[in-house]
Amino acid sequence: MQTMTHKERIEAVLAHSPADRTPFCLVDGGAWIAKTENMSYRQIYAMEDGGASLIVKWTNEIDTDIVSAVSGVFTACLNSFGCPIHIDEPGRPTDTGAVFTDPETEIPKLDKTTIREKLLANFFVQGMIRQCRNVKRLVGHEKYLLGDIAGPFTMAAVMVGTQDFIMLLMDDPDLAEELIDFTTCVSTEMFRLLLENGCDIAMPAEPVASGSLISQRMFDQWVVPALKNLKANLSDYPHFFTHVCGASGTRVKSLRDAGVEAFSGDYLVDLDTALNEAEGELVMMGNINPAGVLLTGTSQEVYAEACERIKTAAGRGHILSPGCDMGAATPLENVKALLKACKDLAF
């Protein structure tokens, strides 16, 4: 088959049509880029181009088929509403803290009419917008831009604190629903700002919706409706993906039926089973273990695991990627081994 461009390859896979090879991308890569450049996220966002040149430099180095529009802290926009954030040490895990001290009285006071105004006034959001706009300028003609921002369920959990949020779902579902309605609006406005600045793919990330944290019943009751609402709000987006961490193989049918185009799944998701349940309607994105072989293995071990994933998928709608964001100390040769596998096993 004739070699495709990056965009042609992604379009073919999303349309469940033949491609020249399995596409390759990162889920984010921000922590890895920050560590490699020995810069904090705050320093990256403060750059004149929001750090776009660094993103393009490294994603071109490893030749990804999709490039992140906003490599960095996927919950950073919540700082606009009072969530404290610590992102000042290169390569260190980031921490976005809860904002509420009394959810029962504070959640009803949330104002949806000022969301966009507060986002645009925030330092981190301003950096993300500059980053997206300049990534588009640099490589938007070659590659689709992916925006990974926290989805409504995870945003709500961060604002309350994950443990307290899970309790809120059970103890006061009406209040939880009010909060998720607010965070759906936040996620919507953040994705719209990215769309206005060149983003092509909305990918709400829902780590708190993991099968390792909540049941399938809770996922269908709370997460799926919020994602459906978000997708409906983002009808101008060319593509809509979703990322869910952990043991989330049971999420495939729900996400397929919700109209999600691609599910970025963790290494705990069995790829063959997931592709069978996708039934040619949902593309699976993943699922190399980012904290296992990719971080601590040899390039030969990474290559072997990547080849195994490609052979398992056998052209059934699969984008090779880490199962989540890469560890900051991931060796460059290990990342390059993922692309080598895609090229060596071209169809």
The phi and psi torsions of 58 (rounded to 5 degrees) equal -85, -35
Q: How confident is the model at residue 305, as a pLDDT?
A: 97
The pLDDT-based confidence of 1 (bands split at 50, 70, 90) is confident
Domains of the chain with CATH codes: 6-344 (3.20.20.210)
Q: How confident is the model at residue 88, as a pLDDT?
A: 82
Residues with Cβ within 8 Å of residue 113, at least 6 apart in sequence: none
Among 262, 268, 269, 259, residue whose Cα is nearest residue 317: 262
CB burial string 187-201: b at 16+ within 10 A, e below: bbbbbbbbbebbbbb
Mean pLDDT, range 76-88, rounded to an integer? 93
How do residues 258-317 score in pLDDT, each as one tens digit? 999 999 999 999 999 999 999 999 999 999 999 999 999 999 999 999 999 999 999 999
Q: How confident is the model at residue 269, as a pLDDT?
A: 96
d(CA 153, CA 184): 8
Q: How confident is the model at residue 72, as a pLDDT?
A: 81
Place of tokens 């599910």: 263
Place of tokens 């040899």: 298
Mean pLDDT, range 222-245, rounded to an integer? 98
pTM summary value: 0.96
The pLDDT-based confidence of 71 (bands split at 50, 70, 90) is confident
3-state secondary structure of 93: coil
**By mean pLDDT, which of 26-40, 85-99, 284-298 is the weakest?**
85-99
d(CA 48, CA 70): 15
How do residues 162-218 score in pLDDT, each as one tens digit? 999 999 999 999 999 999 999 999 999 999 999 999 999 999 999 999 998 999 999
Mean pLDDT, range 20-47, rounded to an integer? 93
**By mean pLDDT, which of 38-47, 126-135, 195-204, 217-226 is the weakest?**
38-47
Q: How confident is the model at residue 240, as a pLDDT?
A: 98
Q: How confident is the model at residue 86, as a pLDDT?
A: 85
Mean pLDDT of the chain: 95
Among 239, 223, 235, 226, residue whose Cα is nearest residue 184: 226
Please check the confidence at residue 93 and state whether its pLDDT lies above 70: no
Please check the confidence at residue 95 and state whether its pLDDT lies above 70: yes
**Token couple for 166:** 């899970």
Q: Which residue has the higher pLDDT, 72 or 160?
A: 160
Q: How confident is the model at residue 91, as a pLDDT?
A: 67
Q: How confident is the model at residue 94, as a pLDDT?
A: 73
In Å, what is the CA distance from 95 to each residue of 78, 269, 302, 346?
A: 11, 26, 29, 40
Q: How confident is the model at residue 297, as a pLDDT?
A: 96
Q: Where are the alpha helices (DSSP H) in 29-172?
A: 30-37, 41-46, 52-61, 103-106, 115-120, 123-139, 152-160, 162-171
Share of the chain above pLDDT 70, in %: 99
DSSP 209-264: G-TTTS-HHHIIIIIHHHHHHHHHHTTTSSEEEEEE-SS-GGGHHHHHHTT-SEEE
Count of residues in the chain:
347
